[in-house]
Amino acid sequence: MAIREIRVVPDPVLRTPCDEIREITPAVRRLVQDLLDTVNDPGRAGLSANQIGVSLRAFSYNIDGHVGYILNPVLEETSGEQYGDEGCLSVPGLWYKTRRADHARVRGIDLDGKEVVLEGAGLMGRMLQHECDHLDGHVYLDRLEKDERREAMRYMRTHQR
């Protein structure tokens, strides 16, 4: 279908919790294809629907060559801890060490309404949490320590397009 433009902070769509998908329509099918096309680019681990301007609970992922999607994901379990570099397509040019659970499990559905469970540790666990945060209206900068968050926001203000 299409590689879509990525919305960047401070676009209000990124701060708005996304709506549950209640019906699998042709528009939802196009959205999933656009998410898959847009995430299938080197260096992209995940992409939520609101990052391309659509306030619906869906995201795509591209981890270790595995590309997929999930609709109406719910983060249902996390365990362990990791503290490592994290970036975001909606916050271009910034990478900060971010504390996350090491392992995460998300449950949702596919385009046929069948249950999907995604889980993993390391990068997969980080991506699952990162994308669910997006769908709840949060960006990873919200998880930074106060001084780093202040520095990141100052950078964003001075480097806006």
Are 128 and 120 contacting, i.e. CB atoms less than 8 angstroms apart? yes
> Any known ligand binding at 88?
yes
> Any known ligand binding at 103?
no
Task: Name the active-site residue from 131, 145, 148, 151.
Answer: 131
Active site residue 148: no
Neighbour count for residue 116 (Cβ, 10 Å): 17
> Any known ligand binding at 159?
no
Burial class (CB in 10 A: 0-12, 13-18, 19+), 87: middle
d(CA 159, CA 157): 6
Instruction: Provide the annotated binding site for Fe cation.
Output: 88, 130, 134
Active site residues: 131
